[in-house]
Structure 1
């Protein structure tokens, strides 16, 4: 079976390569803008790599050649940074997803598995989980969410016009693993947050708001859901999240800290001001998403995929924090620990501020 993974060198892609290597008779093909080097080691070795920036003109034709003869394509590629250049992000995320879908159709690939997100959903409840029937209209004010919703709308049209294509959408919560510690620090915290202090397993202060209730899942568990979707015959959307729901109170208890009540307007303003000042890399849209994304039920994944998370959300978060403190990484470009990458302290000496620079 020939499986092509677009975006195979990032957080989820790395975990999926690990998972699929356990299967027999699978030929893995990886697509990424920047390829792992020959010394990168597992899980990147043994993969046939192709370099492609899916947001550039001509990407669909280039991908069509790569996809020829594939039994399934898994589309994981998504650009989070540079947040100060929304044109670049939309070009890659929406335009690039269109190029991937066009190439799948032109190459006659029978199955496409797409990495959606809880972020595709419209604002929803924080006191009860929603099913995959909840509207996938995105959260207003979050460009990430609106782009996810735009891609889902495009896929709706493809399903109507190409019923023979087996199309699967996975909608996970926050995705954590130790090896993503450096990458997630760069993308979401920036160079000024003293993540080394997390080695003591403490968060002294945790901002608290009644709507800051989020779900997470370990990258290896998400990878297992992708593998089951690729190797099975399911269609449609699947929520993927582990228990328990991460609340400020729960996080404070496990990391020996105290909660500090913060009103939603203060959270938004703090994110906006520090982002505009180039002090950290995420805009207020991420706060909007955290406050409004609904809680999800994973019942369908458990019933139809036979999926169960092996790591609970708290342990996944503890593993991520340990990875941040230890500067854990892999030797793929997006997960690298190179000190001069944007989002690292040494990058500031070269004028590379948080949320700027492409590639990030």
Structure 2
């Protein structure tokens, strides 16, 4: 990385998306330095600052930054909405305010397709579809609320370039153990998720999943950070997955959706995914079976894989 390039601060830099974003930025000659913020220390050898966006003073870290990429988000505990609200909503507001106070020129925020209001059909939506979320889950309520906050923030600070990235489900091999711990728990052993052991899948007509490989989405964040763009971008890979598509991936028998609407990202960012949505799911399944992981606390491998991982990963992103 060049010492004369842009200084970029990444919150949530040790998670599934954050590690990939740091790698993507580290390979770009326009980037001079990267500072990763994380609540927990990391063994990954890059520049990290231990900070909690919900509590710690962020202004010193943001001082001199050209871009802040805000990825930090707390998924658990789902039964303690006051905890996730403090971290996700109030923490995001603190990030925005600190970036403005330090006159950071550009802010890139990790929103989600979960922020979109539901609709009753399968027609794709553009970035101007309402983002009121769904009342059924804390995740969608919080994403929708932060969208409202950021809309007001953007109007009040027109000199700051504000970008929102709205991806679907994100998968990569290294993040599979973390995602199993977050959403499947210890009762879903990775070795059981082999295609040969999943002979059938329930055919749920309403099931639709938009996914992307984490590395592709990290490339989109890199482009948003370095290109002169504003506004919201939908990020997803083809095809949209239903139960029949998932059955093909699993080699199972299942007991019509439009392509994802990512035209703006393709035209304005010049972004196209290298991996299909099926590739992303297959990478996730492979990571579950092998307990891959990565040398950061959120992505730590399953028990028994730590030594192999620590000696097999490069020292720089």
**Fold match by TM threshold 0.5:** yes
Q: 2:71 aligns with which of 58, 66, 76?
A: 76
| Cα deviation, residue 195, structure 1 | 2.2
- 1:28-67 matches, within 5 Å, as 28-37=34-43, 40=44, 45=45, 47-56=46-55, 59=56, 62-67=57-62
C-alpha deviation, 1:339, in angstroms = 4.1
Pairwise CA distance, 1:92: 0.3
CA distance in 1 between partners of 2:67 and 2:176 (Å): 30
Distance 1:52 1:66, change over 3 A: same
Kindly state the Cα deviation for residue 298 of structure 1 after the two structures are TM-superposed. 0.2
Q: What does 1:309-328 align with in structure 2 at a 5 Å threshold?
A: 309-328=273-292
Tell me how far apart the structure 2 counterparts of residues 204 and 228 of structure 1 sit (CA, whole Å): 41
**In structure 1, the residue corresponding to 2:283 is in which secondary structure?**
helix
Report how far residue 198 of structure 1 moved. 2.4
Match among 225, 240, 251 for residue 256 of structure 1:
251
- Secondary structure (helix, strand or coil) at the match of 1:27 reads strand
User: Secondary structure in 2 aligned to 1:124?
Assistant: coil
CA spacing shift, 1:125–1:3, aligned 2, 3 Å:
farther
The residue aligned with 2:231 is: 236
Q: What SS class does the counterpart of residue 74 from structure 1 fall into? A: strand
What is the rounded CA distance, in whole Å, between the counterparts of 1:79 and 1:150 in structure 2?
A: 15
Structure 1 runs, 4 residues or longer, greater than 6 Å off: none
> Which ranges of structure 2 fall in alignment gaps of 5 or more residues?
1-5, 305-317
Q: 1:63 to 1:248 in 2, by over 3 A?
A: same
Q: Does the C-alpha gap of structure 1 residues 295 and 125 become closer, same or farther in structure 2, counting only changes over 3 Å?
A: farther
> Which position in structure 2 is the counterpart of 1:356?
none
User: What is the TM-score of this pair, normalised by structure 1?
Assistant: 0.79
In the other structure, the counterpart of 2:130 is 135
The C-alpha deviation readout for 1:287-332, integer Å capped at 9, x for no partner, is xxxxxxx984100000000000000000110110010111110110
The answer as to whether partners of 1:80 and 1:89 remain within 8 angstroms in 2 is yes
Paired residue secondary structure (2:240): strand
Q: What secondary structure is seen at the aligned counterpart in 1 of 2:239?
A: strand
Mean Cα deviation higher: 331-340 or 134-143: 331-340
TM-score by length of 2: 0.90
What SS does the corresponding residue of 1:244 show, helix, strand or coil? coil
Q: In the alignment, is residue 107 of structure 1 matched against residue 102 of structure 2?
A: yes
Whole-Å separation in 1 of the counterparts to 2:259 and 2:273:
16
Aligned to 2:25: 20
Contact 2:240 2:260 in 1 (8 A): no
CA RMSD across the alignment: 1.6
Q: Please, which runs of 5 or more residues in structure 1 have no aligned partner?
A: 261-293, 341-360
The 3-state SS of whatever aligns with 2:292 is: coil
Matched position secondary structure for 2:193: helix
Written as runs of structure 1 = structure 2, the 5 A alignment for 1:166-177 is: 166-177=161-172
Equivalence for 1:215: 210
